Amino acid sequence: MSTTEPEALPGTTQDPPSYLSHRQILVVLGGLMAGMFLAALDQSIVGTALPQIVSEFNSLDKLSWVVTAYLLTSTASTPLWGKISDLYGRRPLFIAAIVTFLGGSVLAAMAQNIEMLIGFRAVQGLGAGGLMSLAFATIADVVPPRERGKYMGYFGAVFGLSSVAGPLLGGLLTDGPGWRWIFWINLPIGVVALAVVAAVLKLPHTKRSHKIDYLGASIVTGAVTALLLAVSWAGPDYGWGSTTTLALLIGAVVLSVAFVLVELRVSEPIIPMDLFKGRIFAGYSAYAFLLGFAMFGALIFLPLYLQAVKEMSPTESGLALLPMIVGIFSASIPSGQLMSRTGSYKIYPIISAVLVGGAMLMLSTLAIDTAYWQLAIYMFVMGAGLGLSMQITVTAAQNSVDRKHMGTATSTMTFFRSMGGAIGTAVYGAVLTSRLKVHLEDVVPAAAKDSIDSLAKAANSVQALHALPQPPRSWALTSLVGAMGDVFLVSLPFLAIALVLAIITPEQKLAAREDGAAKEVDLESAASMH
């Protein structure tokens, strides 16, 4: 399928586009990038500090939940942010998302134990879900699909800048005043973002009757929570065949079915099921889920490898991640420019799945003595793969739906990517903790088998690992690296499915400005519509 007109959903009509001029778009971009930088910086800054955080609280077994809690709430809330913004407008919701995120940051900075930190990270995630999805939805409101690629390059620059600044800043703060400052630093950045958004993010919005689907939002939150608890607890705590795990899995399935039934009946669903009648939207939603699943494994466990195995400081490990950032930059900006020039995008998700899969395969071969130059190559390939798909699949999905569903469609895409990341993080955490003991059984000599439990416990803390005498230290590190290799291998079947989806999902030519009755919008008068 290759047309110049966006694929309207059954029973809908296309709203006439009201795109902004280039100058107006740049003004709006300033506000969007300020908010997105806040959320993107937090993802990368926390990753570098995680080994120190879990070492202080002696809880490596809960490392994945510091990330998972954030992803859980950002995932579950994303469709709701999109739906409410479709009804009330993007600007007030974007401001609310920033305020929520800053509130969670303050609470996280004051956490006294790992459980409190996990809970407050969930509050942060609630705000982050709005920041990410609303930024992409707003761009879709004011930029034609054909031109969206070059503006998405600016977002790529924000991700790249935050990815460079985050690990470095996280390392400097962790080594200096302490890891709590990775949350305090959000306050001045957030105040600037609030000021910029309030000043420049003035967009036209037509108010219409509304009815928020709170029942659907509650059910999807319950389904996501049950699934994440099942995969997180199955490995280290209960086992896959336990009554608790099976009950949670059954609950997740039942709630998911109930969610679909509710969405088919309510007048204002947070995720309209009609969206999935389009093969493009359905295909790239599934693709986003699978790539999110794979991506977060590398982002979480590479800093742990660098600090625990290579004995780098948090600052050094942040700098060591630069090849991945270079990879993202080198792929995302050129591919966005080419997509805008040609109106075609199908090849990029295909190459992305191949590159990310290759990177995961290479990362699975890591050993204690792997040279950094080899790891740098692996990270560059991973970054290039991610850069080829992050914004492109969102643009392709946006191009395939009716404009009145733009916010909902964008947030749904973000939902599936975050859902994949949340489940992937939980699965990887379970794999790491369960496989660690298996590798210890293989590595530790028969005469020292009684030390396996204490070595597994020592792996909860980077400092405890480094304090071990030889040879137990070598046994523990070898087993930890082996367990990480298993983590990376787990992603390969999912990336294979993503590759198949990228191949079979049809392409639809991106709509250009002249394909609709585009008109300039007066931003000053638009502000009065709120």
Task: Read off the pLDDT of residues 322-339 as tens digits, 9 standing for 90 and up.
Answer: 888 788 878 877 887 787
- The three-point CA angle 339-342-346 to 5° equals 55
Calpha distance 175→466 (Å, rounded): 17
Q: Which amino acid is at 230?
A: A
What is the model's pLDDT at position 479? 85
Q: Which residue carries 């974007």 as its tokens?
A: 94
The tokens describing 177, both together, are 């005043």
Calpha distance 93→411 (Å, rounded): 13
Q: Which residue carries 């660098």 as its tokens?
A: 306
Calpha distance 216→222 (Å, rounded): 10
DSSP collapsed to 3 states, 224-245 = HHHHHHHHHHHHHHHCCCCHHH
Between 227 and 124, residue with greater pLDDT: 124
Between 250 and 62, residue with greater pLDDT: 250
* DSSP code of residue 315: H
pLDDT band (50, 70, 90) for residue 210: low
What is the model's pLDDT at position 377? 94
* pTM for the predicted model, two decimal places: 0.72
Distances (CA, A) of 108 to 2, 103, 105, 166: 48, 9, 5, 17
- Mean of the per-residue pLDDT values for the chain? 77
Q: Which residues contact 252 (CB under 8 A, 6 or more apart)?
A: 223, 224, 226, 227, 230
Report yes or no: 211 and 267 within 8 Å, Cβ to Cβ.
yes
Q: At what angle do helices 63-88 and 214-233 cross, to 10 degrees?
A: 170
What is the model's pLDDT at position 342? 79
Calpha distance 425→423 (Å, rounded): 5
Q: Which residues contact 320 (CB under 8 A, 6 or more apart)?
A: 306, 310, 312, 372, 375, 376
pLDDT of 188 strictly over 70: yes
Calpha distance 208→88 (Å, rounded): 8
**By mean pLDDT, which of 110-119, 126-135, 160-169, 271-280 is the weakest?**
160-169
Question: What is the rounded average pLDDT of the residues 470-495?
Answer: 86
What is the model's pLDDT at position 5? 38
pLDDT of 95 strictly over 50: yes
- Closest-CA residue to 51 (of 461, 426, 432): 461
What is the model's pLDDT at position 272? 78
**pLDDT tens readout for residues 238-283:** 566 678 778 888 998 999 899 889 888 887 777 778 778 878 888 8
What is the distance, to the nearest Å, from the Cα of residue 407 to the centroid of all Cα atoms in its chain? 18
**What percent of the chain stands above pLDDT 70?**
80
What is the model's pLDDT at position 361? 93
What is the model's pLDDT at position 36? 77
Report yes or no: 526 and 204 within 8 Å, Cβ to Cβ.
yes
Q: Which residue carries 């007066």 as its tokens?
A: 522
What is the model's pLDDT at position 233? 67
- Closest-CA residue to 487 (of 435, 436, 428): 428
pLDDT of 50 strictly over 80: no
What is the model's pLDDT at position 18? 52
pLDDT band (50, 70, 90) for residue 496: very high
Between 342 and 98, residue with greater pLDDT: 98
Calpha distance 432→430 (Å, rounded): 5
pLDDT of 129 strictly over 90: no
What is the model's pLDDT at position 523? 36
pLDDT band (50, 70, 90) for residue 222: confident
pLDDT band (50, 70, 90) for residue 378: very high
Between 514 and 380, residue with greater pLDDT: 380
Question: What is the rounded average pLDDT of the residues 404-415?
Answer: 72
What is the model's pLDDT at position 19? 58
What is the model's pLDDT at position 82? 73
Calpha distance 63→53 (Å, rounded): 9
pLDDT band (50, 70, 90) for residue 67: confident
471 cis-preceded (ω within 30 degrees of 0): yes
pLDDT of 8 strictly over 80: no
What is the model's pLDDT at position 522? 40
Question: What is the rounded average pLDDT of the residues 29-43?
Answer: 76
